[in-house]
Amino acid sequence: MRALIRALILLLLLAALAAGGAWWWLNQPLNLTAPNLELEIEPGTTPRGVAQNVVKAGVQTDARLLYAWFRLSGKDRAIKAGNYELSTGLTPYELLQKLARGEESLRALTIVEGWNWRQVRAALAREEFLKQDSAGLSDEAVMTALGRVGVMPEGRFFPDTYTYAKGSSDMAVLRRAMHSMDRRLADAWAMRAANTPLKSADEALTLASIVEKETGRAADRALIAGVFANRLRIGMRLQTDPTVIYGVGASFDGNLRKRDLQTDTPWNTYTRAGLPITPIAMPGKAALMAAVQPDQTKALYFVAKGDGTSHFSASLDEHNRAVNRYQRGQ
């Protein structure tokens, strides 16, 4: 009998020690790889996935422990999708409270579909609550700081709305937008058509940026991509005005002149065959998908009709008639 009592007492002591250890862990600051970390939880992420994302973001703990804490707390299903900033001193208990209450960053920056890199940098500079860590850095230095040495920034940041806390670094916003584009480009490339003339995901990004700038009506997007895909297959120059405008740069005054079309730049698709050397804008998801899954069309030409839509033609004669009708009023 005494042995049984001793065993029960021992079990109670062990339980108390375990409970005390758990309480201690829940209230101890988590080790972070940086003073401020970015955590993105996408809609539909499971509690286990959230725990794994926390560790991937740079929190040095066991994802299994976090997941167990989420489950035992009863708040695992209350965790809300969003973008969070994790700062030094955060405990496992406070982490769950933050995620369950949806305490996202309070301010937001929107990168608009079709913006170019120059416009993105200008938008970041206007955000008074962002820490301007990229100010004064060259484009090359910004990309190096983001871990993309030798990569040009154009097209590399996904158009979306990004929330952030006051005092966050503009580089943190850029990093999130870059990783978002990485994911969406990889997803799109994995779904590319079997007969695509594109040779890489980077080429898909470049074509998507052109489609983004050429599209006036969403319904025309895949057809426009189909025209460019057809031209690439037969070695026909793309001859698309937005690439010329991009090459003109900040000096473009809204009036595209004949001399602009004839002045060679690395982006001028009238003077050079194939795709330009970089994207010309930040393409959205629809443009990415159009680039890798274009409409199967015989069209090789299109012209704006003046109402936001385009007329598509399979022959030059038909195209010239469309130009006379819609551009010259003949």
The secondary structure of 6-41 as a DSSP string is: HHHHHHHHHHHHHHHHHHHHHTSPPPBSSSEEEEEE
Write down the pTM of the prediction: 0.71
Widest CA span in the chain: 108
Question: Which domains does the chain possess?
Answer: 28-101 (3.30.1490.480), 194-326 (no CATH)
Tell me what pLDDT residue 15 has. 46
Tell me what pLDDT residue 281 has. 98
Cα–chain center distance at 42: 13
Tell me what pLDDT residue 290 has. 98
Tell me what pLDDT residue 214 has. 94
Token pair recorded at residue 27: 């209230």
Tell me what pLDDT residue 291 has. 98
- As averages over each run of 10 residues, the pLDDT of the chain (330 residues) reads 50 46 84 90 92 95 93 93 88 94 84 98 94 95 97 98 85 95 97 97 98 93 97 97 94 90 95 97 98 96 88 92 82
Dihedral (CA of 269, 274, 278, 284) sign:
positive
Q: Are β-strands 107-110 and 161-164 bridged in parallel, bridged antiparallel, or unpaired? A: antiparallel
For residue 83, give the 3-state DSSP assignment: strand
Tell me what pLDDT residue 105 has. 61
d(CA 140, CA 142): 5
